[in-house]
Chain A
Amino acid sequence: MNSRVGYIAFNTFREAVRDRVLYNLIAFALLLSGAAILVGEISIDIERLVVVNLGLTAVSLFGVIIAIFIGIGLVSKEIEKRTLYTVLSRPVRRWEFVVGKFFGLTGTLVVNTVCMALGVFLALLYVSHKFEKMDQWVLVALYFIVLQFFIVCALALFFSSFSTPLMSAVFTFALFVIGSLAEDLRGFARITHGLGGWLATGIAYLVPNFSALNVISQVAHGDPVAGRLILYNTAYALLYSAMAISGAVLIFQRRNLK
């Protein structure tokens, strides 16, 4: 990685940590430990299913909320507070700034997810008293959640490069919701004909396919995840994020910082 991108990423990470973003872990820990104790009391044989479902859904939701609400301010806050002036008056290219910011936020989310993952596995150990072989697929589900964060961060950055923070949040969250239903949208496109069919197909393939990245229910039941899907999802998420970041860079390169 370019060293300036690394310095910017580290500063973004440090800012998030000092602004107490990781405090969400306390809420997550309380939620998960409470759920594990409750499930242990009232469920019969489905403790694992409930803990994995609840835990991974919480990891995803907490992360997406952080990705959206920090992501939309990554560039706009710097312009508004004018902290950007003393950065861009140095030998820092605009693309380095955008990419550094992206890696800083995704780095924060990876650390956040690792901490949450530890919580999920501790809760699993509490309810099952041991780890099983199928628990490895929980790691894959967590990996897919991190890939989702990459896309959400990139989209938040993209929208914030030309829009207000509020509108950026609305656009990103809307795309997250629509993208979570992407498989249904593709199914609808297949059975629709004519202009509507073309339109539905276009939208279905344009929105990020978050439903393909959601294997929570599958791994909660202990079902394995195909290796091909891991490869496909990795390539898809990286490509989609790269395209959104490139869009953000292209817009930001031409932007006047008034």
Chain B
Amino acid sequence: MESENWKPNFTIRFNSTQTPSKELGSSRIIMAAIEILDLEKSYLVGFWRKRPKLALRPLRLTVEEGEVFGFLGPNGAGKTTTLKLLMGLVFPTAGTARILGKELDDPAVKSQIGFLPEQPYFYDHLTARELLNYYGQLSGVPAKGRAARVEQMLERVGLSGSASVQLRKFSKGMLQRVGLAQAILHDPKLVFLDEPMSGLDPMGRREVRDLIQQLRSEGKTVFFSTHILSDAEALCDRVAVIHQGELRGVGAVADLTSGTQGKIEIIFYAAKVPAGLTALGAVARISGDMVNAVLPEEQQDAALELLRRERLKLISLAPVRNSLEEYYIQRLQPTDVEKEDEEDEARNEENRKGVGV
């Protein structure tokens, strides 16, 4: 029948919380993989007089399908809390979220997502093969083909040789690899990784980076939390910065790192920093037989003229670009409201001390 064979070559997102995205003009409109709608979490702390402690302030965030999204923040910022909320491991105090267009409590969601917790622990009485088979069963991977899929995953994370070893004999790095394998075993559309590079050696980190890039090329959405900015800069399409349970900023990595700072960096051969260069406002350091100097953009011609005069050989000249690290650090600075809160807190503390005296 014609109606059965007909398949639309585009999908349209109906999302009341967002304006139509930039892809509207193209043949395919990308759907939101994750929509976090004012998700909030507070815990009761204290023994006798319990009082709420805010772990996550109302968070509103959208991750598009097919994106590699980095969730950045220092330890204790609220990254893991957000992931636990999305996984249904803790319940929100307020707000909601949708994953692949479905509510969090919809069981159909779980078969389409993969999750690697931070510092994962697994049933150490099982071998890697048994563990993946067990998770395959729970994820609804059909019995026919499950064993082959398990072997494929073990191969993919480089554990084929240790497949029959009980996990209690695995190193931290090997457990992380098992964790990655179980997260993608059932071919999920969306993968959540909580600090996936944690505990890995440089080689292991590189393999995880490769894996995330493979997932992106397969069209998967990857949402990963990290505080290793170089990984985020290398892998992510977009990043969000969270600090003290509050979203501090969201942006495309390409946009955040494409701007210049109005400075240039010149590298040239010299045994010492020419005196005239410092006068141009340069910050210079000597590295072997080379000098690396950063100075204002408008001093570029003067600096080149100086090098010519001094007969120094120029190696490179490039504008200083913004880095993710600068954006991150800038986002972590206290906001005006926080500064006021801190001042109020300090005043209250002083008043309390005054009363005490």
Chain A residues touching B, range = 20 to 34
Out of A18, A91, A92, A254, name the residue touching B125 (CB < 8 Å). Answer: A18
The residue in chain A whose Cβ has the minimal distance to the Cβ of B112 is A91
CB closest residue in chain A, given B89: A257
CB contact under 8 A between A83 and B138, given known A89-B87, A89-B115: no
Beta-carbon contact of B91 and A86 below 8 Å: no
- Contact flags A51-93 to B (C-beta < 8 A → 1, else 0): 0000000000000000000000000000001111111111111
Q: A85-B87, A86-B115, A90-B111 are in contact. Are A4 and B138 (CB under 8 A)?
A: yes
Size class of B's contact patch?
20 to 34
Given contacts A19-B125, A91-B110, A91-B111, whether A86 and B139 have CB atoms under 8 Å apart is: no
Q: B252 at the A/B interface (Cβ < 8 Å)?
A: no
Instruction: Tell me which of A83, A85, A91, A254 contacts B107 (CB under 8 A).
Output: A91
Query: Which one of A19, A82, A91 has the highest number of Cβ atoms from chain B below 10 Å of its Cβ?
Result: A91
Q: Which residues of B are found within 8 Å of A4, using beta-carbon distances?
A: 137-138
Which chain A positions have C-beta within 8 A of B108?
Answer: 91
Asked if A193 is an interface residue, CB under 8 A from chain B, the answer is no
Counting CB contacts under 8 A, is A256 at the interface? Answer: yes
Contact, CB under 8 Å: A85 / B135: no
| Binary contact track B121-142/A, C-beta < 8 Å → 1, others 0 | 1110110000000110111100
Q: Is A11 on the interface with B (CB-CB < 8 A)?
A: yes
Contacting residues, chain A, for B126 (C-beta < 8 A): 11, 14
CA distance A125 to B345 in the complex (A): 81
B115 touches A93 (CB 8 A): no
**Assembly CA distance A92 to B107 (angstroms):** 8
Alpha-carbon distance A82/B124, docked complex (angstroms)? 12
Asked whether A257 and B84 contact (CB < 8 A) given A7-B138, A86-B122, the answer is yes
Q: Which residues of chain B have C-beta atoms less than 8 A from A82's C-beta? A: 117, 119-121
Please tell me if B43 contacts chain A, counting CB pairs below 8 Å. yes
Identify A88's interface contact among B43, B87, B114, B125, CB under 8 A. Answer: B87
A82 and B186 alpha carbons, distance in the complex (Å):
21
Contact A254 B91 (CB under 8 A): yes
The answer to whether B212 has its CB under 8 Å from any CB of chain A is no
Query: A258 in the interface, Cβ–Cβ < 8 Å?
Result: yes
Query: Which chain B residue shows the least CB distance to A258?
Result: B90
Residues of A within 8 A of B107 (CB): 91, 93
- With A85-B117, A86-B115, A91-B111 in contact, is A256–B91 under 8 Å at CB? yes
Chain B residues with CB below 8 A from A85, complex form: 84, 87, 89, 115, 117, 120
B182 at interface, CB cutoff 8 A: yes
Q: Which residues of B contact A (CB under 8 A)?
A: 43, 84, 87-91, 107-108, 110-111, 113-115, 117, 119-123, 125-126, 134-135, 137-140, 179, 182, 186, 192
* Sampled A-B contacts (28; CB under 8 Å): A3-B137, A4-B137, A4-B138, A7-B134, A7-B137, A11-B123, A11-B126, A11-B134, A14-B125, A15-B123, A83-B122, A83-B123, A85-B87, A85-B115, A86-B115, A86-B135, A86-B179, A86-B182, A87-B138, A89-B88, A89-B114, A89-B117, A91-B107, A91-B110, A256-B91, A257-B84, A258-B43, A258-B90
